[in-house]
């Protein structure tokens, strides 16, 4: 056990690296690293299983700094323990352009950053997903390959955000006993004392959600250690309330909001150095203290090597499967399975809702890819996300492949991020498209991180009918298309649905959404094509040379566009139909391809049962848009399409009017 003096010196190294980095940047949050340094020192030097020389070791413990504003705590730890991605110059360049030490921790910027945090509560919910993944993989591969803890350090803000309740209630229900949450209980938020806005008894709240709870002095290393050891033995997830002082060691700012989000200032830093007995200048860590930290970084080296020996001793098929899945590669059986299924669809030509088409292709996918982990936010029968292979996971049996997330869309989306970040699994989860608003912050972070998470978003338009405008997502497809690095698919039939699923699964560095219908749609791709046409984002579904009219459509409106084409052709107006399943993939095509698809028709029409936003890229600002211009209404969907003028009649009339106007 580390002596108290040595512990204090090691914790102070975190404090002063953080203080000095924030001061040099003239920006940042010194209070949390100063207050939580004792917690972090105990965790990283005694309990956390990690290896800076092999940072992606699959059986490492995961550490999530949910209170991401305190990022210098994590950066200091990564530097001190010997991660090669962060050196002292990176600490000195905190919050500077091009530095891995960004304002908030960003996944992919440096090894050891397990997830992007900053939007409060997200890290906590990510940690729940990581713990789910560990438990699921342990059930699948055995505890000799997957047996580790997930730790999250949270602040008051993380616990005030609504997502925290979704996350902790799910974790408590699932009895995620290897999840340990450490609360930096300092009683301070930006506005001042937490008591200004909140009087929740957090310990009782976690207990009510099925957690084991403990409360300790967050500046007593032995008490922290005892709590972690007790947590490791618990049969439930554990919440440890660590009472701390924000800005610990600062004579004039400790315990106040002045230490939260602003540099301490040169005079206060000098006083803090005196108070804590730290005589070294900025960014200098005495060699004996740095050596102690580097030794802590080597602490799990033998454990990691023993794990590698266990993996090497496994049956070759198990070993190769495990390694493939943690590399994120799809099984070789996947592509031929999809290809064979597409051939079958071209023959069968089913008339089904695309939510049903999604279920049909998932039956193929889940048979070929054992790493898929499905789920739904209490809409399984509506989202069609469960297949014959996906037995439900229960608190006492994680051998299944399906999670009942409950009515927790935001928690589900963020937990799926954590599952994907953990590795070894590909998560997909369903809800209604309109409720993607509840999931959006987590979807945005998945896009920012570039991780493979798939959102099944059914009931995608006014086509859901009688539930009315509260449930009719007229603006949601456009809003999701606005997120950078997010692929939003809206397939037109069963063939396109299969192709979009293939693209979502093959996109290792992007999350995806599939907008799927409630109403039945005919198969519009009746001839089998080996190429994945949806990969182009937009393609000629019904070509016509020298077309007078080009109709661009997505999803359920492709059927309407094809009917309009038949009628316009019969009137002597050569018409082509372009199916547009994915704006984002179309934007990635060559300029020549995009120009050819957009074409030179006299009249360009876009048809989608949503708002116009985004379609001008295809039809221009003077093009014809057939779609929604406000909210929907309650009624049978056939009547709604007529009421809002999303019909072949409306397309024909608008095209004719433009053609006559041009003559």
> ∠ CA(336), CA(340), CA(342), 5° rounding?
115
Active site residue 563: no
Burial 54-66 (b: 16+ CB within 10 A, else e): bbebbbbbbbbbb
Task: Please name which of 22, 533, 549 lies closest in space to residue 260, comparing C-alpha atoms.
Answer: 22
Write the DSSP string, 549-568.
Answer: EEEEE-TTHHHHHHHHHHHH
Write the DSSP string, 323-351.
Answer: HHHHHTPPPTTHHHHHHHHHHHHHHH---
Token code pair at residue 418: 């954590």
Strands 549-553 and 520-521: unpaired
The catalytic residue among 138, 166, 359, 409 is: 409
Measure the CA–CA gap between 516 and 511, rounded to whole angstroms.
16
How many C-beta neighbours within 10 Å does residue 479 have? 17
Sign of the torsion angle spanned by Cα atoms 365, 371, 375, 381: positive
Between the alpha carbon of residue 340 and those of residues 75, 125, 337, 384, 486, the distances in Å are 49, 38, 5, 22, 28
Token code pair at residue 428: 């997909």
Strands 520-521 and 352-353: antiparallel
Q: What share of the chain is helix, strand, coil (3-state, %, to 5)?
A: 45, 15, 40
Residues 80, 170: contact at Cβ < 8 Å?
no
Token code pair at residue 622: 């003077």
End-to-end CA distance of the chain: 90
Active site residues: 409
């Amino acid at each position: 056990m580390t002596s108290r003096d040595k512990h204090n010196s090691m914790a102070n190294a975190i404090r002063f690296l953080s203080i000095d980095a924030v001061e040099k940047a003239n920006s940042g949050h010194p209070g949390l690293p100063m207050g939580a340094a004792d917690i972090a020192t105990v965790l990283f030097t005694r309990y956390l299983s990690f290896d800076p020389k092999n940072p992606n070791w699959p059986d490492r413990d995961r550490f999530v700094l949910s209170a991401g504003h305190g990022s210098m705590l994590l950066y200091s730890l990564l530097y001190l323990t010997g991660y090669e991605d962060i050196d002292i110059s990176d600490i000195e360049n905190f919050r500077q352009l091009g530095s891995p030490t960004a304002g908030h921790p960003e996944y992919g910027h440096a090894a050891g950053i397990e997830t992007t945090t900053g939007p409060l509560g997200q890290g906590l919910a990510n940690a729940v997903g990581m713990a789910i993944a560990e438990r699921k993989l342990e059930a699948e591969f055995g505890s000799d390959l997957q047996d580790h803890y997930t730790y999250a350090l949270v602040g008051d803000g993380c616990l005030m955000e609504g997502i925290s309740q979704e996350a902790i209630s799910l974790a408590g229900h699932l009895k995620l006993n290897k999840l340990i949450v450490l609360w930096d209980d300092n009683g301070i938020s930006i506005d001042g004392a937490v008591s200004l806005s909140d009087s929740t008894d957090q310990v009782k709240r976690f207990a009510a959600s099925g957690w084991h709870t403990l409360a300790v002095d967050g500046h007593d290393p032995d008490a922290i250690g005892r709590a972690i050891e007790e947590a490791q033995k618990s049969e439930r997830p554990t919440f440890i309330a660590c009472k701390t002082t924000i800005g610990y060691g600062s004579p004039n700012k400790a315990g106040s909001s002045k230490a939260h989000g602003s540099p301490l200032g040169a005079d206060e830093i000098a006083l803090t150095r005196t108070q804590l007995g730290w005589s070294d200048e900025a960014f200098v860590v005495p060699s004996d203290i740095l050596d102690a930290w580097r030794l802590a970084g080597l602490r799990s080296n033998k454990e990691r090597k023993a794990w590698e020996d266990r993996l090497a001793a496994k049956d070759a098929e198990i070993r190769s499967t495990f390694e493939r899945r943690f590399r994120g590669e799809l099984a070789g059986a996947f592509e031929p399975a999809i290809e064979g299924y597409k051939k079958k669809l071209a023959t069968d030509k089913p008339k089904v809702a695309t939510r049903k088409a999604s279920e049909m292709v998932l039956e193929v996918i889940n048979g070929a890819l054992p790493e898929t982990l499905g789920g739904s936010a209490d809409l399984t029968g509506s989202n069609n996300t469960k297949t014959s292979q996906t037995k439900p996971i229960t608190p006492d049996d994680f051998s299944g492949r399906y999670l009942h997330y409950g009515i927790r869309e935001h928690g589900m989306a963020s937990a799926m991020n954590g599952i994907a970040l953990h590795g070894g699994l590909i998560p997909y989860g369903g809800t209604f498209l309109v409720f993607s608003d509840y999931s959006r912050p987590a979807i945005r972070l998945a896009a920012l991180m570039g991780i493979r998470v798939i959102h099944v978003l059914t009931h995608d338009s006014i086509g859901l009918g009688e539930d009315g405008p509260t449930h009719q997502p007229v603006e949601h497809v456009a809003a999701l298309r606005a997120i950078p690095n997010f692929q939003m698919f809206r397939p037109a039939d069963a063939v396109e649905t299969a192709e979009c699923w293939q693209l979502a699964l093959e996109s290792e560095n992007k999350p995806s959404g599939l907008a799927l219908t409630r109403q039945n749609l005919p198969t519009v791709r009746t001839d089998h094509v080996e190429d994945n046409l949806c990969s182009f984002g937009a393609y000629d579904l019904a070509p016509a040379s020298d077309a007078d009219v080009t109709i661009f459509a997505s999803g359920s409106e492709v059927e309407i566009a094809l009917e309009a084409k038949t009628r316009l052709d019969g009137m002597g107006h050569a018409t082509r139909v372009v199916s547009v399943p994915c704006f984002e993939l179309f934007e990635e095509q060559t300029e020549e391809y995009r120009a050819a698809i957009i074409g030179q028709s006299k009249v360009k029409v876009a048809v989608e049962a949503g708002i116009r936003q985004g379609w001008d890229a295809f039809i221009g600002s003077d093009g014809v848009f057939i779609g929604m211009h406000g909210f929907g209404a309650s009624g049978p969907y056939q009547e709604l399409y007529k009421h809002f003028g999303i019909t072949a009649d409306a397309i024909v009339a608008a095209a004719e009017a433009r053609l006559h106007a041009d003559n």
